[in-house]
Amino acid sequence: MTTTPHPLRILVAKPGLDGHDRGAKVIARALRDAGIEVIYTGLHQSPEQIVEATLQEDAAGIGLSVLSGAHLTLFAKVIELLEQRDAADITVFGGGIIPEADIAPLERMGVARVFTPGTATHDVVDWVRAYVGGGVPA
């Protein structure tokens, strides 16, 4: 029996109360245009909703966009919930308005990569292809 590998699948989410999603939509479109399956959950998602959608969609990675200043709390909660659901192998990455001083603490808690404002979309796509497992390069 031959199985066909599925394309890389990434969930892009806007956690918390932040209502600005332009950056998340730009990243979602760049990933999609590069042949990666993207599930965009929209605004105002709780960490619980994000993890549940990730598991239901069998996504290999979660890209969080945070502009509200709650990035340390929101990323930590998503990672904690993934661990509780025995899904710590799902890669968590993100971006938004995140101070340089907070990047190392985020990485220590398990965030694989933080993209800062001005990062070129092709750099995000290339990183996702290289470091998020489970897919087939386009």
| Edge-to-edge strand ranges of the sheet holding 91-96 | 37-40, 9-13, 61-66, 91-96, 113-115
- Rounded Cα distance between 110 and 107, Å, is 5
How are the residues of the chain apportioned to helix, strand and coil, as percentages rounded to the nearest 5?
40, 20, 40
pTM: 0.92
Mean pLDDT over 117-127 rounds to 97
Fold assignment, 9-131: Rossmann fold (3.40.50)
pLDDT at 138: 44
Q: Tens of pLDDT along 54-64?
A: 999 999 999 99
Q: Are 4 and 99 in contact (CB under 8 A)?
A: no
**β-strand partners of 63:** 12, 93
For residue 29, how far is the Cα from the chain centroid?
13
Amino acid at 130: A
Q: Tens of pLDDT along 75-105?
A: 999 999 999 999 999 999 999 999 999 999 9
pLDDT at 133: 75
